[in-house]
Chains A and B, each alone.
Chain A
Amino acid sequence: MELLPEWAPGIHPLIIHFPVALLSLAVVLTVLALFYYREWITKATLGLYTVGTLSALASYISGRSAADSIGLNLKAEVAIGTHSDWGLYTLVYFGIFTVIYYGVVFMLKKESIVFKLTLAALALLGFFILGQTAEHGGRLVFEYGLGVQK
Chain B
Amino acid sequence: MKLTIKKISYGFIALTFVFAVSCGGSSSSETEDHEHAEGMEHSEATDNNNEATEHSHDEGGNETEAHEHGDATAESVMGEAFTWMAMEESKDMLAYKTDNVMMMKHGEDNVMMFSPKGGKSSCMFNGKQGNVGVTATIKLDGNDGEVKLIHHSTDKDNYEFVALNGNMMNLGRVENGEEKILDSKEFELPTDWFTLTVTAAGSHFKGYINDKMITHGHADEMAAGYVGLSASGNSMLSVKKVEATPLEAEH
Chain A residues at the B interface, C-beta cutoff of 8 Å: 27-28, 31-32, 34-36, 68-69, 71-72, 74-75, 77-82, 84-85, 124, 127-128, 131-132, 135-136, 139
Contact = CB atoms under 8 A, between A and B. Distances in A.
Contacts of B8: 32, 35-36
A80 B201 CA distance: 9
Given A77-B133, A77-B199, A135 B211 contact: no
Enumerate the 4 nearest inter-chain pairs by beta-carbon distance, A residue then B residue, closest first. A35-B7, A81-B204, A72-B211, A74-B133
B104 interface: no
Given A78-B131, A81-B203, A131-B22, A68 B213 contact: yes
A74 B206 CA distance: 11
Interface string B9-37: 01110110011001100100000000000
B62 interface: no
B158 to A, nearest CB: 22
B182 interface: no
A69 B213 contact: yes
A136 B133 contact: no
Contacts of A128: 18, 22
Nearest to A34: B11
B140 to A, nearest CB: 20
Contacts of B211: 71-72
A86 B248 CA distance: 18
B131 A68 contact: no
Nearest to A36: B4
Contacts of B14: 31
B245 A74 contact: yes
A16 B22 CA distance: 21
Max count, chain B CB within 10 A of own CB: residue among A34, A71, A77: A77
B18 A78 contact: no
Contacts of B199: 72, 74, 77
Nearest to A79: B250
B133 A68 contact: no
B212 A71 contact: yes
Contact of A28 (B15, B212, B248, B250): B15
30 contacts: A28-B12, A28-B15, A31-B15, A32-B11, A35-B7, A35-B8, A36-B4, A71-B208, A71-B212, A72-B211, A72-B213, A74-B199, A77-B131, A77-B199, A77-B204, A77-B206, A78-B201, A78-B248, A79-B250, A80-B204, A81-B201, A81-B202, A81-B203, A82-B250, A85-B203, A124-B18, A127-B19, A128-B18, A131-B22, A131-B23
Contact of A71 (B7, B203, B213, B245): B213
B247 A78 contact: yes
Contacts of B245: 74
Nearest to B197: A72
A83 to B, nearest CB: 9
B214 to A, nearest CB: 10
B103 interface: no
B249 interface: yes
A37 to B, nearest CB: 11
Counting chain B CB atoms within 10 Å of each CB, which of A35, A84, A132 scores highest? A35
A31 B11 contact: yes
A31 B206 CA distance: 41
Given A35-B7, A35-B8, A84-B204, A77 B247 contact: yes
B216 interface: yes
Interface in B201-235: 201-204, 206, 208, 211-213, 216
Contacts of B18: 124, 127-128
Contacts of A68: 213, 216
A85 B248 CA distance: 17
Nearest to B133: A74
